């Protein structure tokens, strides 16, 4: 636009100068040279005038712009000064607030330090008290340990288990749940072959009893799972723990038959537990020999027929067995996992675990002794601190269960490790399954292997328990409801009195 206006002005100046020269030449008789000279002079004068006026106009515009910039700079300077004043006032307020906070926090820090010292002293006192109690109880029979300590009401019994577990008696009349568990006197002077034959006969005659021990949530102590444990009923009436007769059963290749019987009973117990509580679960111990033996296809067929309860039945393997598993065992685990069953690893001797690998194999639980988690027993070195184990396993979908808990101080320490499940004599000892709950097995199975228990297997495979078993469960539940409630309330009252 500026260039067009300049061209237009120049054109006008040339036109005016030319017009003047023509007028002088035609009107006034000037010669052509004189007319051209006058026109040139006029053109020069007009150009000089235009340049001077343009220069003045530019100076005026520049002056106005400089004035505007000066006014803007003054405003900016005032704003900067105001901002500096506000920042100074804010710094002063922050310093004052920090001084007040420090003045207020110092007494609180002193009180917190004093409280931590008192809590430490209290923990030391509780630990010393527990140690003294443990020393006193060590002189007594193990069965009296469970009778001496009151059972928390949450872990004593659950409504779902009232149909399969006997009612909990009062503390004064609490019968030892595992009489003779740590004795092998039932075998007498029998040699190894005789003991194996005795165990085989016990399996065939179903003198292997099923005990349940609850697994509770921490710190609520609400029963969430049960662990099924096998106990051998000797001829003299004594109950022999699995740890005492399993080595002989393994030496006689009897573990698959024992596991078949345990699985059959666990399936029936799970069905009865699920009648009242769909969220309950049962841990069933299995041996690696059951995954590789010739009877595994029949076991798998039986479990496939009962896959409706797969989410409530967890198969448990020792850590040593999991580490020794080969391709055949892994293939069997994969077949069980495809049918919805989950696995657990227990009897940890160290904390060297690979959560990613265990998750891929279908393991969803790891049971570690409380003393191992709290570094109170000698264990092999590990790359992770026990306090971080629960969080690590949780990131891979594995729940950590602390077992063999026998004191309240242990529970307090485990809560600092973010352990959400616990199991041990502190909550409840293992208790035998009611005879009525397994009556159908005793009358129908006729053997330990699922393949031979056609009536019971067929009944369970259809997903419908026998009507006779249902009537027995209902009768047993109604019969023991009042006793269970009174026993739990009595335990709760005694626990509150001791607290």
Q: Tokens for 458?
A: 């067929």
Within the chain, what is the greatest distance between any pair of CA atoms?
Answer: 164
pLDDT at 446 over 70: no
Question: 18 near 38, Cβ under 8 Å?
Answer: no
10-39 burial by CB neighbour count: b if 16+ within 10 A, else e? Answer: eeebeeebeebbeebbeeeebeeeebbebb
Alpha helical stretches, state H, 307-435 = 319-323, 327-338, 355-361, 370-373, 386-395, 408-416
Whether this prediction's pTM lies above 0.85 is answered by no
d(CA 222, CA 220): 6
Q: Which residues pair with 226 in a beta bridge?
A: 214, 282
Residue 127 or 461, more confident: 127
Q: What is the CA radius of gyration of the chain?
A: 46
What residues contact residue 316 under an 8 Å CB cut-off, 6+ apart? 227, 283, 284, 285, 286, 343, 344, 345, 346, 365, 367
pLDDT digits (tens, 9 = 90+) for 59-87: 888 888 898 898 888 889 999 999 999 99
Most confident stretch, 78-87, 99-108, 176-185: 78-87
Alpha helices in 138-237 (DSSP H): 142-148, 153-156, 192-204
The pLDDT, as a whole number, for residue 442 is 42
CATH class of the domain at 140-498: alpha beta
Residue 397 has pLDDT above 90, yes or no: yes
Q: How far apart are alpha carbons 284 and 313 in whole angstroms?
A: 7
Span 113-160, pLDDT tens digits: 888 888 887 887 777 777 777 766 665 544 443 444 444 444 556 666
- Parallel/antiparallel/unpaired status of strands 342-346 and 239-241: unpaired
Q: Do the beta carbons of residue 370 and residue 404 sit within 8 Å?
A: yes
Task: Write the pLDDT tens digit of every residue in 18-56.
Answer: 898 888 888 888 888 888 998 899 899 999 998 898 888
Q: Which positions ≥6 away from 331 have C-beta within 8 Å?
A: none
Q: How far apart are CA 49 and CA 41, in angstroms?
A: 12
Return the exposure string of 189-225: e unless at least 16 CB atoms fall within 10 Å of the residue's CB, then b. Answer: eeeeeebbebbbebbeebebbbbbbbbbebeebebbb
- Asked if pLDDT for residue 276 goes beyond 90, the answer is no
Instruction: Please tell me whether residue 179 adopts helix, strand or coil conformation.
Output: coil
Could you tell me which residues come within 8 angstroms of residue 225 by beta carbon, excluding any fewer than 6 positions away? 214, 215, 280, 281, 282, 283, 314, 421
- Sign of the dihedral defined by the CA atoms of residues 408, 411, 415, 417, in that order: positive
Residue 237's pLDDT is 72
Average pLDDT for residues 192-203, to the nearest whole number? 86
Half-sphere exposure of 288 (CA within 13 A, CB side): 15
Are the CB atoms for 298 and 335 separated by under 8 Å? no
pLDDT in the model for residue 309? 93
Measured between alpha carbons, how far is 368 from 351 in angstroms, rounded to an integer? 8
Q: CB under 8 Å to 122, separation ≥6 — which residues? A: none
Residue 184 pLDDT greater than 50, yes or no = yes
Let me know how many helices (H) and strands (E) the chain has, helices first. Answer: 18, 10
Half-sphere exposure in the Cβ direction for 227 (13 Å, CA): 27
């Amino acid at each position: 636009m500026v260039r067009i206006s300049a061209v237009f002005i120049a054109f006008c100046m040339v036109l005016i100068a030319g017009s003047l020269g023509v007028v002088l030449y035609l009107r006034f008789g000037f010669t052509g040279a004189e007319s051209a000279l006058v026109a040139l002079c006029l053109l020069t004068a007009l150009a000089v005038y235009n340049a001077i006026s343009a220069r003045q106009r530019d100076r005026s515009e520049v002056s106005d712009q400089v004035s505007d910039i000066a006014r803007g700079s003054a405003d900016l300077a005032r704003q900067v000064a105001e901002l500096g004043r506000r920042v100074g006032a804010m710094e002063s307020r922050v310093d004052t607030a920090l001084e007040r906070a420090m003045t207020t926090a110092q007494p609180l820090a002193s009180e917190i330090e004093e409280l931590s010292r008192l809590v430490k002293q209290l923990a030391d006192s509780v630990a010393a008290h527990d140690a003294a109690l443990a020393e006193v109880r060590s002189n007594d029979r193990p069965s009296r340990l469970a009778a001496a300590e009151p059972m928390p009401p949450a872990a004593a019994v659950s409504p779902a288990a009232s149909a399969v577990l006997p009612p909990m008696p009062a503390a004064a009349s609490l019968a030892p749940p595992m009489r003779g568990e740590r004795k092998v006197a039932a075998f007498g002077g029998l040699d190894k072959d005789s003991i194996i034959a005795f165990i085989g006969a016990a399996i065939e005659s179903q003198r292997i009893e099923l005990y349940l021990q609850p697994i509770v949530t921490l710190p609520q102590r609400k029963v969430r799972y049960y662990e099924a444990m096998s106990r051998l009923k000797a001829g003299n009436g004594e109950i022999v723990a699995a740890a005492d007769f399993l080595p002989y059963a393994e030496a006689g290749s009897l573990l698959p038959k024992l596991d078949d019987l345990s699985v059959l009973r666990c399936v029936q117990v799970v069905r009865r537990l699920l009648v009242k509580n769909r969220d309950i679960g049962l841990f069933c111990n299995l041996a690696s020999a059951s995954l590789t033996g010739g009877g595994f296809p029949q076991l798998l067929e039986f479990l496939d027929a009962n896959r409706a309860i797969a989410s409530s039945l967890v198969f448990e393997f020792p850590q040593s067995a999991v580490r020794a598993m080969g391709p055949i065992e892994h293939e069997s685990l994969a077949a069980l996992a495809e049918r919805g069953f989950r696995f657990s690893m227990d009897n940890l001797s160290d904390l060297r675990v690979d959560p990613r690998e265990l998750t891929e194999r279908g393991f969803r639980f790891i049971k570690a002794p409380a003393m191992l988690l709290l570094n109170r027993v000698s264990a092999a070195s590990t790359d992770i601190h026990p306090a971080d184990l629960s969080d690590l396993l949780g990131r891979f979908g594995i729940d950590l269960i602390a077992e063999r808990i026998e004191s309240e101080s242990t529970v307090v320490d485990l809560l600092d490790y973010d352990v959400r499940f616990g199991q041990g004599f502190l909550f409840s000892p293992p208790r035998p399954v009611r005879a009525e709950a397994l009556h159908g097995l005793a009358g129908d199975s006729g053997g330990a292997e699922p393949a031979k228990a056609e009536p019971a297997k067929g009944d369970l495979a259809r997903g419908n328990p026998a009507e006779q078993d249902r009537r027995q469960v209902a009768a047993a539940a109604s019969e023991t409801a009042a006793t269970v409630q009174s026993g739990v309330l009595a335990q709760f009252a005694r626990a509150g009195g001791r607290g």
